[in-house]
Structure 1
Amino acid sequence: MAGEVVQLAEVAPYVTAALAAYGNGVLHRAEDAAVGATANLGLRIVQRVFRRGRASEQEALQTAVREAVDEPGDADAAAALRQQIRRALREDAELAAELAQWLRAAGPGAITAAGERSVATRTNHGIISTGDGFRNTGGPGGHAS
Structure 2
Amino acid sequence: MGAEIVALVEQAGPYLTAAVGAYGAAVLTRAQDAAADATVGLGQRILQSVWQRRDEAGRAEMVRVVDEATDEQDDVYSTAVLSRLLRRTLEDDPDLLAELVRLLPTPAAGTVTVTASGERSIAAQHIGTAITGDGHTPFRS
Q: What TM-score results when the alignment is normalised by the length of structure 2?
A: 0.71
Q: RCO greater where, 1 or 2, for CA within 8 Å and sep 6 or more?
A: 2
User: Out of 109, 114, 117, which is 1:111 matched to?
Assistant: 114
Structure 1 equivalent of residue 124 of structure 2: 120
For residues 16-55 of structure 1, the C-alpha deviation after alignment (integer angstroms, 9 at most, x for no partner) is 1101111221111011123201101100100110110122
Report which stretch shifted further, 102-111 or 87-96. 102-111
Q: What TM-score results when the alignment is normalised by the length of structure 1?
A: 0.69
RMSD: 3.2
Residues 32 and 105 of structure 1: is their aligned pair in 2 closer, same or farther, counting only changes over 3 Å?
A: farther
Residues 119 and 110 of structure 1: is their aligned pair in 2 closer, same or farther, counting only changes over 3 Å?
A: closer
What SS is found at the alignment partner of 1:20?
Answer: helix
* Structure 1 gap ranges (5+): 135-145
Residues 88 and 61 of structure 1: is their aligned pair in 2 closer, same or farther, counting only changes over 3 Å?
A: same
Q: Hey, which bits of structure 1, 4+ residues long, moved more than 6 A?
A: 105-109
Seq. identity, % = 37
> For the residues of structure 1 that align with 2:10 and 2:35, how far apart are their CA atoms?
26
> For the residues of structure 1 that align with 2:112 and 2:94, how far apart are their CA atoms?
21
Alignment of 1:45-124 (within 5 A): 45-73=46-74, 78-104=79-105, 110-112=113-115, 119-121=123-125
Report which stretch shifted further, 76-85 or 41-50. 76-85
Residue 130, structure 1, aligned to residue 129, structure 2: yes
For residues 77-119 of structure 1, the C-alpha deviation after alignment (integer angstroms, 9 at most, x for no partner) is 55333211110111111111111111137987841258x9955
* Structure 2 gap ranges (5+): 131-138
**Which protein has the larger Cα radius of gyration, Structure 1 or Structure 2?**
1
Letter in 2 for 1:46: L
